[in-house]
Chains A and B, each alone.
Chain A
Amino acid sequence: MRRFSTSATLFGLALACAVPAAAGELTVYTALEADQLKAYKEAFEAANPGTTINWVRDSTGIVTAKLLAEKDNPQADVVLGLAATSLMLLDKEGMLMGYEPKGIQALTATYRDPANPPKWVGMDVWSSALCFNTVEGGKKGLTAPQSWADLIKPEYAGQITMPNPASSGTGYLMVSAWLQLMGEEKGWAYMDALHNNIAAYTHSGSKPCKQAAAGEYTMGLSFEYRANKSKQDGAPLDVILPSEGVGWDMEAASILATTKNVEDAKKLLDWSVSKEANELYAKSYAIVAMPGIAKPLEFVPADIEQRLIKNDFAWAAANRDRILAEWSKRYDGKSEPKS
Chain B
Amino acid sequence: MTAVAPTALAPVRQKLSADEVLMRIGVVLVGCFLLLAVVLPIWALLKKAFEDKSGNFVGLANIEQFFATPSLATSAMNSVFIALVSTVLCVGLAFVYAYGLMRTCLPGRGFFRIVSQIPLLAPSLLPAISLVYLFGNQGFATWLLFGHSIYGPIGIVIGEVFWTFPHALIIVTTALAIADARHFEAAQSLKASEWRIFMTVTLPGIRYGLISATFVVFVLVITDFGVPKVIGEQYNVLATDIYKQVIGQQNFQMGAVVGLVLLTPAVIAFFIDRIAQRRQTALLSARAVPLIPKPNKTVDWAFFAICSVIAAMIIIVLAVAFIASIAKFWPYDLTPSLKNYNFDMMDGGGWESYRNSLTMSALTAVIGTAVIFTGAYLLEKTTRFSAPRSIVRFLTLLPLAVPGLVLGLGFIFFFNDKDNPLNFIYGTMAILVLCTIGHFYSVAHLTATTALKQIDPEFETVSSSLKVPIYKTFLFVTLPVCLPAVLEIAMYLFVNAMTTVSAVVFLYSPKTTLASIAVLNMDDAGDVAPAAAMAIMIFMTSAVVRILYTIATGSFLRRAQAWRRR
- Nearest chain A CB to B325's CB is how many angstroms away? 14
Known: A3-B475, A17-B429. A337 touches B152 (CB 8 A): yes
Q: Mark B490-532, 1 if CB is under 8 A from A, else 0.
A: 0000000000000000000111100000000000111110000
- The answer to whether the Cβ of B333 comes within 8 Å of any Cβ in the partner chain is yes
Known: A202-B526, A233-B329, A338-B149. A217 touches B248 (CB 8 A): no
B250 adjacent to A69 (CB under 8 Å):
yes
B154 adjacent to A62 (CB under 8 Å):
no
- The answer to whether the Cβ of B153 comes within 8 Å of any Cβ in the partner chain is yes
- Nearest chain A CB to B245's CB is how many angstroms away? 10
B510 adjacent to A18 (CB under 8 Å):
no
A18 adjacent to B430 (CB under 8 Å):
yes
The interface-forming segment of B97-105, B340-348, B438-446 is: B340-348
User: In chain A between 303 and 339, which residues have their CB closer than 8 angstroms to a CB of chain B?
Assistant: 332-339
Could you list some 17 contacts between A and B, CB below 8 A? A4-B26, A4-B29, A6-B370, A7-B367, A11-B367, A34-B347, A38-B345, A65-B249, A65-B250, A68-B250, A204-B525, A206-B525, A206-B526, A207-B524, A214-B329, A215-B331, A339-B154
- Inter-chain contacts of B152 with A (CB < 8 A): 337-339
The CA of A204 and the CA of B526, in the complex, are separated in Å by 8
- Nearest chain A CB to B507's CB is how many angstroms away? 12
B429 adjacent to A14 (CB under 8 Å):
yes
Main SS class of interface, A: mixed
- Inter-chain contacts of A216 with B (CB < 8 A): 132, 136-138
B248 adjacent to A234 (CB under 8 Å):
no
User: In chain B between 402 and 419, which residues have their CB closer than 8 angstroms to a CB of chain A?
Assistant: 418
- Nearest chain B CB to A233's CB is how many angstroms away? 7
A339 adjacent to B149 (CB under 8 Å):
yes
A10 adjacent to B367 (CB under 8 Å):
yes
Please indicate which of the listed interface residues A2, A3, A61 has the most CB atoms of chain B within 10 Å of its own CB: A3
- Nearest chain B CB to A73's CB is how many angstroms away? 7
The CA of A190 and the CA of B390, in the complex, are separated in Å by 64
Nearest opposing residue in chain B for A226, CB measure: B526
Q: Mark B418-433, 1 if CB is under 8 A from A, else 0.
A: 1000001101111101
Nearest opposing residue in chain A for B344, CB measure: A38
Known: A17-B429, A200-B234, A233-B329. A55 touches B525 (CB 8 A): no
- The answer to whether the Cβ of A112 comes within 8 Å of any Cβ in the partner chain is no
B71's partner among A135, A208, A210, A334 (CB-CB below 8 A) is A334
A166 adjacent to B233 (CB under 8 Å):
no
- The answer to whether the Cβ of B316 comes within 8 Å of any Cβ in the partner chain is no
- The answer to whether the Cβ of A15 comes within 8 Å of any Cβ in the partner chain is yes
The 3 tightest CB contacts between A and B, nearest first, are A18-B428, A333-B71, A210-B526
- The answer to whether the Cβ of A49 comes within 8 Å of any Cβ in the partner chain is no
B471 adjacent to A3 (CB under 8 Å):
yes
B524 adjacent to A57 (CB under 8 Å):
no
Count residues on chain A whose CB falls below 8 Å from chain B CBs: 59
Nearest opposing residue in chain B for A159, CB measure: B137
- The answer to whether the Cβ of B110 comes within 8 Å of any Cβ in the partner chain is no
Given contacts A34-B346, A204-B524, A334-B70, 12 further A-B contacts (CB under 8 A): A3-B471, A7-B367, A17-B430, A166-B248, A200-B151, A200-B233, A201-B234, A337-B234, A337-B235, A338-B152, A339-B153, A339-B154
- Inter-chain contacts of A3 with B (CB < 8 A): 370, 374, 471, 474-475
Interface residues on B, range: 35 or more
Q: Mark B5-43, 1 if CB is under 8 A from A, else 0.
A: 000000000000000001000100100000000000000
- The answer to whether the Cβ of A141 comes within 8 Å of any Cβ in the partner chain is no
Q: Mark A140-167, 1 if CB is under 8 A from B, else 0.
A: 0000000000000000000000000011
The CA of A54 and the CA of B427, in the complex, are separated in Å by 13
- Inter-chain contacts of A203 with B (CB < 8 A): 524-525
Known: A15-B428, A17-B429, A166-B248. A2 touches B471 (CB 8 A): yes
A35 adjacent to B346 (CB under 8 Å):
yes
Q: Mark A168-210, 1 if CB is under 8 A from B, else 0.
A: 0000000000000000000000000000000111111011111
Q: Mark B152-193, 1 if CB is under 8 A from A, else 0.
A: 111000000000000000000000000000000000000000
Please indicate which of the listed interface residues B370, B418, B425 has the most CB atoms of chain A within 10 Å of its own CB: B370
- The answer to whether the Cβ of B302 comes within 8 Å of any Cβ in the partner chain is no
The CA of A230 and the CA of B443, in the complex, are separated in Å by 46
- The answer to whether the Cβ of B366 comes within 8 Å of any Cβ in the partner chain is yes
- The answer to whether the Cβ of B195 comes within 8 Å of any Cβ in the partner chain is no
Q: Mark A9-35, 1 if CB is under 8 A from B, else 0.
A: 011001101101000000100000011
- The answer to whether the Cβ of A1 comes within 8 Å of any Cβ in the partner chain is yes
Known: A210-B526, A338-B149. A14 touches B430 (CB 8 A): yes
The CA of A167 and the CA of B250, in the complex, are separated in Å by 11
- Nearest chain A CB to B98's CB is how many angstroms away? 31
- Inter-chain contacts of B137 with A (CB < 8 A): 215-217
- Inter-chain contacts of B475 with A (CB < 8 A): 2-3
- Inter-chain contacts of A51 with B (CB < 8 A): none
The CA of A126 and the CA of B562, in the complex, are separated in Å by 70
A215's partner among B233, B332, B359, B511 (CB-CB below 8 A) is B332
Q: Mark A230-258, 1 if CB is under 8 A from B, else 0.
A: 00011110000000000000000000000
- Nearest chain B CB to A219's CB is how many angstroms away? 12
Please indicate which of the listed interface residues B138, B248, B418, B527 has the most CB atoms of chain A within 10 Å of its own CB: B248
Nearest opposing residue in chain A for B73, CB measure: A333
Please indicate which of the listed interface residues B233, B346, B371 has the most CB atoms of chain A within 10 Å of its own CB: B233
- Nearest chain B CB to A23's CB is how many angstroms away? 16
- Nearest chain B CB to A200's CB is how many angstroms away? 4
- Inter-chain contacts of B71 with A (CB < 8 A): 332-334
A35 adjacent to B428 (CB under 8 Å):
no
- Inter-chain contacts of B151 with A (CB < 8 A): 199-200, 337-338
- The answer to whether the Cβ of B148 comes within 8 Å of any Cβ in the partner chain is yes
- The answer to whether the Cβ of B363 comes within 8 Å of any Cβ in the partner chain is yes
- The answer to whether the Cβ of B236 comes within 8 Å of any Cβ in the partner chain is yes
The CA of A17 and the CA of B511, in the complex, are separated in Å by 11
B332's partner among A15, A66, A236, A339 (CB-CB below 8 A) is A236
- Nearest chain A CB to B398's CB is how many angstroms away? 20
The CA of A3 and the CA of B132, in the complex, are separated in Å by 48
- Inter-chain contacts of B136 with A (CB < 8 A): 216
- Nearest chain A CB to B452's CB is how many angstroms away? 15
- The answer to whether the Cβ of B200 comes within 8 Å of any Cβ in the partner chain is no
